[in-house]
């Protein structure tokens, strides 16, 4: 067995988005993605990082300090790119981790919802943070919308759906294309690569959350550090 993962970066911070926002977390960013989100409205905020993934032995994925953080309750956030490209290796790593360190961390996964979980993969994940892409991503409908995967994730009791909103039409798109999602599973998050852009879109997004009765998600890493990744 090749005990390795394609790792782009690891860092310890707080979860900046979604329903576990503010929770201490060790981020494990895996390399590669099946989408390339880029449009006039926004560009993938981690593309510079996930394109540089390196094959890393399981022993070298997380430092002793990070393992101690996880042992004390920090979440392990599997992110990308698209970590679902690595389902088999993730399961192997989690099993190895449990044997090596004698505990299983609380695990979140951040996915675009285009790849269906298989072979019981969902049983290893404590929180599903699904961020389906809208047309503002620049990706075609056929590439960004997987009905089977989205319905599968929607049925999981520990899943949520986070949408990046940059204009009113994005809200209408969510209503029209994702009406099958449970309302209490939906989060709207303002688009923006820096604090200024967030300030420009935040009020519109909040007002739509209030009107539609859905959750609001901030982007704490940008609000606090004005950085897109690594914090």
Task: Split the chain (231 residues) into runs of 10 and give each run's mean pLDDT.
Answer: 90 94 96 74 60 91 98 97 95 98 98 96 98 90 95 96 95 96 92 88 96 94 81 70
Rounded to whole angstroms, the Cα distance separating 123 from 22 reads 24
Rounded to whole angstroms, the Cα distance separating 230 from 128 reads 21
pLDDT value of position 39: 55
pLDDT value of position 56: 97
Q: Where are the alpha helices (DSSP H) in 25-86?
A: 47-50, 58-61, 64-71
pLDDT value of position 48: 64
Rounded to whole angstroms, the Cα distance separating 78 from 32 reads 13
At 225, list the tokens: 């550090």
Helix and strand numbers, DSSP H then E, in the chain: 9, 9
Backbone angles phi, psi at 85, to 5 degrees: -65, -15
pLDDT value of position 35: 77
pLDDT value of position 6: 93
Give the pTM: 0.91
pLDDT value of position 226: 87
pLDDT value of position 72: 98
Backbone angles phi, psi at 190, to 5 degrees: -65, 145
pLDDT value of position 74: 98
Rounded to whole angstroms, the Cα distance separating 76 from 15 reads 10
pLDDT value of position 52: 78
> Between helices 168-177 and 195-212, what is the axis angle to 10°?
50
């Amino acid at each position: 067995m090749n005990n390795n993962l394609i790792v782009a970066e690891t860092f310890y911070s707080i979860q900046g988005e979604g329903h576990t926002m503010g929770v201490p977390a060790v981020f494990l960013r895996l390399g590669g993605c099946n989408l390339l989100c880029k449009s006039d409205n926004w560009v993938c905020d981690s593309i510079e990082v996930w394109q540089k993934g390196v094959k890393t032995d399981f022993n070298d994925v997380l430092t002793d300090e990070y393992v101690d953080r996880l042992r004390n309750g920090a979440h392990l956030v599997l992110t990308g790119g698209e970590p679902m490209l690595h389902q088999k290796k993730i399961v192997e790593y989690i099993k190895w981790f449990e044997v090596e360190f004698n505990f299983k961390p609380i695990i979140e996964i951040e996915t675009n919802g285009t790849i269906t979980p298989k072979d019981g993969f969902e049983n290893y994940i404590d929180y599903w943070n699904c961020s389906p892409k809208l047309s503002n991503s620049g990706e075609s409908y056929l590439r960004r919308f997987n009905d089977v995967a989205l319905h599968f994730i929607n049925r999981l009791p520990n899943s949520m759906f986070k949408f990046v909103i940059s204009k009113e039409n994005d809200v209408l798109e969510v209503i029209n294309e994702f009406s099958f999602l449970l309302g209490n599973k939906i989060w709207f998050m303002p688009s923006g690569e820096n604090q200024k852009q967030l300030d420009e879109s935040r009020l519109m997004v909040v007002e739509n959350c209030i009107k539609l009765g859905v959750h609001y998600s901030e982007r704490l890493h940008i609000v606090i550090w004005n950085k897109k990744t690594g914090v």
